[in-house]
Structures are given as structure tokens and as C-alpha cells.
Amino acid sequence: MWYWLFKYVFMGPLLTLLGRPKVHGLEYVPRSGAAILASNHLAVADSFYLPLAVSRRITFLAKAEYFTGTGLKGWFQRWFYTAAGQVPIDRTDADSAKSALTTAQRILTEGKLLGMYPEGTRSPDGRLYKGKTGLARLALETGMPVIPVAMIGTDVVNPPGSKMWRFGQVEVKFGKPMDFTRFEGLAGNRFIERAVIDEVMYELMRLSGQEYVDLYAADVKEGTAVAQPAARLPEAAAG
């Protein structure tokens, strides 16, 4: 109930006023049944504007830190993210990654839409970064279609690092569902998983118009990698 109240009563009208969202390709989102929505990630606002664009409920996997705060602030944050349709996952080690995959599989088995950010974190500079293979493994193990989603302008409405929201123009672009059943039985093969996620990232690059950087965004944020000049994924990655 809280999810729908947030969407249509508490936050939806305000988000619409601020971002004047335009939605393209909504026909590619199935009216029923499970699918993985793979989105680029520019701002916290992505997790609000994407659900606003789709009539069905979307469940996101969110970092556990959003749910572990203490005191009144921690309680409110935990309640807010739960009401917004987000499920906590631990991302600290291999066992945690396996648990997150199990949670994602359960959500899809229930016939729901699962929202994922293959970059793993928000872009540090507005460019598109290398995708992590967890999404690829999930798609291969479940056989579910992957729908690429480009979020555009959310970092203007909700600038990273700022608590202020601004007026702007948000676009949400859905691409054609991507079917990876041709790789059935090859989940766990790191070369196949890399090929799958690169194909997804190519579609995100094409839809969003972002420049691509062949580094993990988290490494750039942590200073363990230096952002390089933008590159473009080869079209071969898309097929």
C-alpha cells in the first residue's frame, strides 16, 4: 500500500512537477510476468523516476546500508526504502553476492519486475561505466528477458552530492527486450557472462547517448582506478 501512496500521492506529483518526465518505449515493458530492467545510474532519483514511468511495481536490490541506520533517522530511512519497493542486499563478499543472486531469483520467480543497475553504483561523472556480471549471471540462470533502460536528466533534477532538487527534464527510454536464452546452460562461464553484460551496456550506451568508460565506477570513486578517455563498446559486443 505504501508503495502506491508514495507513487501516486506523496511523491509522484512532486517528481512530475520537478522533472516533467517523458517516457519512450513503454510498450517494451511486459504487462505481466517477470523481467529484468537494467538501467544506467546517474542519481538517487533514478530509483524514483523509473517506477513512476511504469504502471507495474518494480522491486530494486538496494545496498544494506540503507536499512541498518540507528535511531529515528535510521528507522525512517529503513521504512522509506522498504515502502519504495527496495530489498536490502549485502555486497561485501562472495557469499553476499550469492545471497543477492538468490534474492533476485526469488523476486523473478514470483513474476515481478526487478530493477538493477549493472554499473553497481552511480556514475561519478555522468559517463557510462563497465557493467558487473551479476546481472548477466541472473539472466542466464533464470532465462528472463533483460530490458535496457536509459535514465536521462535525473542528475540535473537530483545532482549527486547535493540535498537540493531542481527543475529539469527527465527522460526514461526503454529498449527492446534482450533474450539471452541462446546461452542456456552457460551461466558461470565468465567469458559468456562478460559478453552478455557488454551487450547490455552497449544498448544502454546507445539509448542514453553516454560516453563509455571501460572501468568500474566503484574503482574510480575509490581512487583505485583513474578515469580514462571515453571509449565506445564495439558493435560486435551487441551480437
pLDDT average per 10 residues of sequence, the chain (239 residues)? 77 94 98 97 94 94 73 78 71 67 93 95 96 96 97 96 92 98 95 98 98 95 67 51
Contact 51, 85 (CB under 8 A): yes
| Burial (CB count within 10 angstroms: exposed 0-12, middle 13-18, buried 19+), residue 170 | buried
The model's pTM: 0.86
Superfamily of domain 17-222: Glycerol-3-phosphate (1)-acyltransferase (3.40.1130.10)
The whole-number pLDDT of residue 213 equals 96
Give the number of other CB atoms < 10 A from CB of residue 228: 10
Can you tell me whether residue 113 is helix, strand or coil? strand
Contact 22, 170 (CB under 8 A): yes
Can you tell me whether residue 23 is helix, strand or coil? strand
Q: Which residues contact 59 (CB under 8 A, 6 or more apart)?
A: 85, 86, 87, 107, 112, 113, 114, 115
Q: Which of 1, 24, 4, 75 is CA-nearest to residue 209?
A: 24
β-bridge pairing 58-63 and 113-116? parallel
Rounded Cα distance, 126 and 212, in Å: 10
The whole-number pLDDT of residue 236 equals 46
Rounded Cα distance, 91 and 65, in Å: 10
The whole-number pLDDT of residue 154 equals 98
The whole-number pLDDT of residue 94 equals 58
E strand map for the chain: 22-24, 35-39, 58-63, 86-89, 113-116, 128-129, 146-152, 171-174, 212-213
Residue 136 is inside which H or E element, if any?
helix 134-142
CA 129 from chain center: how many Å?
Answer: 13
